[in-house]
């Protein structure tokens, strides 16, 4: 592992190289044999399991039930919604052979499940009594990507996709906002990742949606990450798929629909945002191991105290584990767990046995804290919460520093070239300006923040009247 | 729903028709648009979630970690293990187009993950310190089927697949038996489905395994259901994929491997085994709703008591739900929840409000039990356990009655023709006899029960010496 650590480029010097290497070194993930695919190794998958546990509970609380729809979508079904197929067709993986024979109709591996789910919704929904229909699924989806990036952009990824149908647009819209706010909580409270909730522009919205809400966070080199989205589908799909219901007056109406997804892409943001030159720094609430207990050497007294410490912590609800002295040197084990970003390590040697105490080292600050064993159950959860808060505060300060208001295009280009980050600028909402800005600066509209008030301004690009400041940034 | 119920064939008269209809009527599942695929609707998926919760905890307790490997396996990788590819090649779905272009190498949609996982194991395992490596994944797999059957045989199904690598064959074998015993516990304790643990014959074992253990249960029309399997892979894959480790003496050795899976097929067995002419009968431990509270009509006193009953039951750890009187008549709601097999319904009308009691009706026996509200928290869990036990006892009696020892081929054929079920018969273990029996009677060797002792006998088919009685049956 000393070798491994020397092998890690400095995050401050080469974020992208650091990112690729730390994922492999910390055993979060590995490359799959087919181009663009990845393996979620146990340590990386454990993070996803913590996300699932939290998000699944919140989704169920909202009255949404889990289900599972097929992986394969007949090509004709996918093609039913025009805007939808246009958006996804360049990214499809297609099964043409089944059981040794050429298929009569090609099967698309789902890039998302709107079409296959709504074909069923049309059969299941008849009356206002059947509404709202609120279904979620945890599954794998495939979108063919030319340039791939571990976690952030892979051919196959994991996510949950929620799909609801309502009697009124108001009900649907409430679900759209509930979903994005729930996602924002997961990002803020678990991932310690602040960001902006906002509306996507017409050109950046989901293929088939009326409106798309997004949560946009900021990565260390100043690029934005679209972290998750929630879509107001209006009646676009319900008209195409014929999803209608008899209202209480016996009149037939089309349902109003939403879809929303949170993917393993989020873990890429987590890794990138909080690391340092020594490796990962995982926020405690999302760390698979919160405290790693390290007996300094092989010795009965030390082993016994280590076991006691692990048990005490587990009883206090802390995710603790022990990495014993029989397999590797203490130096090497410290390096390993620093790389892996475990928030606290508990070193236990002869000194600790004598004092019946533990030396805790914070991964984020390297601060050493000596704590009597009897106080662990109370103090460790407090320290973990303090680390969680400190990581969030750092990320928030970074986000604030790197969100800059600009008044004209010269300033826009200068700030972008020097400092990156988010730019808050008036835009007239014409696609031609958005496209020109993108071509000239690589910055795209990220969103119109939901709390942005209406103002009088002029478009940063064309000078025509503009009502809102939008957030622009270069993005992953 | 009255209509729906009339639409249900009698289980006692036509099991297969009953099975297909009850799955749709109870909203457990629906057909997917691509041939052989199915949709797990929320009520059916909730059963799978209960399985996952139980099995996932037991798997983790054993020290196995969850991970996720890619869906797509390059064709060349799948072909590496000869016996394995021979077994699976007729069942493959193949992606030939990605991102609008013909792929240079075809990608197989995983039918199981041995090859893609072991390619990685070869890179991850170096030393005895890396062993045992024990990984599980919950995922979807695809096996092209000509004749499909909801839950029991679908092109895509859900399962967990565990894959472990060990330093010794003894360690590996312990995992093989641990897995099948864990599965048997889930079947017996949750599904109330007794069965036989045994070894598969050479011709019936997993493609690539040295030995396969199975759990075989018996369905009402006397056919066997292979419910799950656990494989001793020996060193077959580790030799092909070059998975080796330095032992403590510095000598390189190949690892010993296992794989084991439990799938959504099991839910098919659950449905078939316990239903009756009125619909499903779900064993309480696996029922998504254990008690359905039914207010007889719209009335404040009734609604209040129903809410109190639901809350009391939930606080007692019972999965309770209420189906209110505002949407449908009481008769129709009773039918619906009978169809859906909820173990207990709690009817609440004016009489119950006056007496501050609840009338419970057992789904399995239709017995009515009146219980004061104050005793619900204590009595309901007891009644649920009693139902669980009764369903198991019935299934066990059925299994015993329908496992018959036969001494010669005439008797074998007679019993099979008249009564189906399991036949315990001496077999010489030659494939030719096994094949002839299958061709002539459609019965296959199901397994050699693990607790079967060695005896002196003669093969039921050829009369040659035979050491063991095997179990034979027609199977799904």
pLDDT tens for B159-177 read 999 999 999 999 999 999 9
Q: Do residue A70 and residue B146 have CB atoms under 8 angstroms apart?
A: no
Residues B323 and B348 in one domain: yes
Are A67 and A135 in contact by the 8 Å Cβ rule? The answer is yes
Closest C-alpha among A187, A206, A184 to residue A197? A184
Residues A270 and A328 in one domain: no
pLDDT band at A146 (very low <50, low <70, confident <90, very high): confident
The pLDDT value recorded for residue B5 is 55
Residues A177 and A235 in one domain: yes
Residues B107 and B217 in one domain: yes
Q: How far is it, in rounded angstroms, from Cα B245 to Cα B251?
A: 8
| Residue where a domain stops, chosen among B321, B355, B385 | B385
Residues B301 and B229 in one domain: no
- Does B465 contact A at CB distance below 8 Å? no
How long, in residues, is chain B? 476
Which tens digit of pLDDT belongs to each residue from A147-205?
889 999 999 999 999 999 999 999 999 999 999 999 999 999 999 999 999 999 999 99
Residue A135 lies in a domain: yes
Residue A388 lies in a domain: no
Q: Do residue B155 and residue A72 have CB atoms under 8 angstroms apart?
A: yes
Residues B184 and B311 in one domain: no
Mean pLDDT, range A444-466, rounded to an integer? 95
Q: What CATH number does residue A347 fall under? A: 3.40.50.800
Alpha helices in B155-210 (DSSP H): 169-185
Q: Is the pLDDT of residue A55 over 60?
A: yes
| Residue where a domain stops, chosen among B274, B306, B340 | B274
Residue A438 lies in a domain: yes
- Does A41 contact B at CB distance below 8 Å? yes
Residue B393 lies in a domain: no
Residues A17 and A107 in one domain: yes
| Residue where a domain stops, chosen among A274, A302, A330 | A274
pLDDT band at A2 (very low <50, low <70, confident <90, very high): very low
Interface predicted TM-score (ipTM): 0.96
Buried b (16+ CB within 10 A) or exposed e, B382-395: ebbeebbeebbebb
Structure tokens at B222: 């006397």
Pairing of strands B72-74, B156-166: unpaired
Angle, in degrees to the nearest 10, between helices A42-61 and A169-185: 140
Q: How far is it, in rounded angstroms, from Cα B380 to Cα B360?
A: 9
Identify from A64, A65, A98 which residue to disrupt to test chain B contact, counting B C-beta atoms within 10 A and taking the largest count.
A98
Residues B18 and B146 in one domain: yes
Identify from A74, A107, A146, A329 which residue to disrupt to test chain B contact, counting B C-beta atoms within 10 A and taking the largest count.
A107
Q: What residues 64-123 of chain B have any CB closer than 8 A to a CB of chain A?
A: 65-74, 77, 89-100, 106-107, 109, 116, 119-120, 123
Structural element, H or E, at residue B83: helix B82-88
Q: Do residue B123 and residue A30 have CB atoms under 8 angstroms apart?
A: yes
The pLDDT value recorded for residue A6 is 61
Q: What CATH number does residue A452 fall under? A: 3.30.110.30
Q: Is the peptide bond before A93 cis (omega within 30 degrees of 0)?
A: no
Residues A255 and A171 in one domain: yes
Q: How far is it, in rounded angstroms, from Cα A223 to Cα A443?
A: 9
Residue A398 lies in a domain: no
Give the start-end residues of each E strand in B167-276: 196-199, 211-218, 224-234, 244-246, 252-254, 256-263
The pLDDT value recorded for residue B7 is 84
Identify from B27, B39, B121, B142 which residue to disrupt to test chain A contact, counting A C-beta atoms within 10 A and taking the largest count.
B39
Residue A397 lies in a domain: no
Give the start-end residues of each E strand in B328-474: 344-348, 357-362, 368-372, 403-405, 422-427, 444-449, 457-458, 465-466, 468-473
Which tens digit of pLDDT belongs to each residue from A6-15?
689 999 899 9
The pLDDT value recorded for residue A5 is 55
Q: How far is it, in rounded angstroms, from Cα B129 to Cα B126?
A: 8
Which tens digit of pLDDT belongs to each residue from B99-117?
999 999 999 999 999 999 9
Structural domain count of chain A: 3
Mean pLDDT, range B58-76, rounded to an integer? 97
For the CA atoms of A434, A439, A441, A446, what is the dihedral angle to 10 degrees? 40
Residue A393 lies in a domain: no
Q: Do residue A68 and residue B158 have CB atoms under 8 angstroms apart?
A: yes
Give the start-end residues of each E strand in B55-100: 65-66, 72-74, 93-98
* Cα distance from N-terminal residue to C-terminal residue, chain B: 31
Residue A358 lies in a domain: yes
Residues B407 and B374 in one domain: no
Number of other residues whose CB lies within 10 A of the CB of residue A188: 17
Q: How far is it, in rounded angstroms, from Cα B23 to Cα B152?
A: 12
| Upper half-sphere CA count for residue B13 (Cβ side, 13 Å) | 5
Domain residues for the domain of B411 are 403-473
Residues A269 and A301 in one domain: no
Q: What percent of chain A has pLDDT over 90?
A: 92
Sign of the alpha-carbon dihedral angle for B98, B103, B107, B109: positive
Q: Is the pLDDT of residue B444 over 50?
A: yes
Residues B248 and B298 in one domain: no
Q: How far is it, in rounded angstroms, from Cα A219 to Cα A224?
A: 6
Which tens digit of pLDDT belongs to each residue from A271-299?
999 999 999 999 999 999 999 999 999 99
């Amino acid at each position: 592992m000393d070798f491994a650590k020397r092998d890690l480029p400095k995050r401050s010097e080469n974020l992208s190289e650091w990112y690729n290497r730390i994922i492999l070194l910390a055993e979060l993930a590995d490359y799959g044999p087919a181009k663009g695919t990845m393996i979620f190794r146990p340590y990386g998958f454990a993070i996803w399991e913590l996300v699932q546990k939290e998000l699944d509970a919140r989704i169920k609380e909202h009255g949404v039930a889990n289900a599972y729809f097929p992986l394969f979508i007949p090509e004709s079904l996918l093609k039913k919604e025009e805007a939808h197929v246009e958006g996804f067709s360049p990214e499809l993986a297609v099964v043409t052979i089944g059981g040794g024979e050429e298929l009569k109709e090609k099967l698309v591996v789902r890039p998302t499940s709107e079409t296959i789910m709504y074909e069923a919704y049309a059969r299941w929904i008849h009356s206002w009594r059947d509404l709202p229909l609120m279904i979620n699924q945890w599954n794998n989806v495939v979108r063919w990507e030319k340039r791939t990036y571990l976690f952030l952009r892979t051919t196959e990824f994991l996510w949950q996709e929620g799909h609801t149908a309502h009697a009124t647009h108001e009900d649907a819209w409430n679900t759209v906002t509930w979903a994005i706010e729930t996602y924002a909580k997961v990002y803020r409270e678990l991932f310690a990742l602040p960001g902006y909730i906002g509306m996507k522009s017409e050109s950046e919205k989901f293929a088939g949606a009326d409106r798309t809400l997004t949560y946009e966070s900021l990565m260390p080199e100043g690029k934005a990450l679209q972290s998750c989205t929630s879509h107001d589908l209006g009646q676009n799909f319900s008209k195409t798929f014929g999803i209608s219901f008899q209202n209480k007056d016996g009149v037939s109406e089309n349902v109003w629909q939403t879809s929303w997804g949170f993917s393993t892409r989020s873990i890429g943001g987590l890794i990138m945002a909080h690391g340092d030159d020594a490796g990962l720094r995982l926020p405690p609430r999302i760390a698979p191991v919160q405290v790693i207990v390290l007996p300094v050497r092989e010795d009965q007294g030390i082993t016994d105290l280590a076991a006691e410490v692990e048990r005490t912590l587990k009883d206090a609800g802390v995710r603790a584990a022990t990495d014993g002295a029989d397999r590797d040197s203490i130096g090497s084990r410290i390096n390993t767990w620093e790389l892996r970003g475990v928030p606290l390590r508990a070193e236990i040697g002869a000194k600790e046995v004598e004092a019946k105490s533990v030396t805790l080292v914070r991964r984020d600050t390297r601060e050493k804290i000596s704590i009597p064993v009897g106080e662990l159950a109370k103090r460790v959860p407090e320290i973990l919460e303090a680390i969680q808060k400190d990581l969030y505060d750092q990320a928030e300060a970074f986000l604030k520093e790197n969100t800059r208001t600009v008044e004209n295009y010269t300033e826009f280009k200068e700030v972008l070239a020097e400092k990156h980050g988010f730019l808050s600028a008036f835009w007239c909402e014409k696609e031609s300006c958005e496209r020109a800005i993108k071509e000239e600066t690589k910055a795209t509209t990220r969103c119109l923040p939901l709390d942005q008030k209406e103002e009088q301004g002029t478009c940063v690009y064309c000078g025509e009247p503009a009502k809102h400041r939008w957030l622009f940034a270069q993005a992953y």
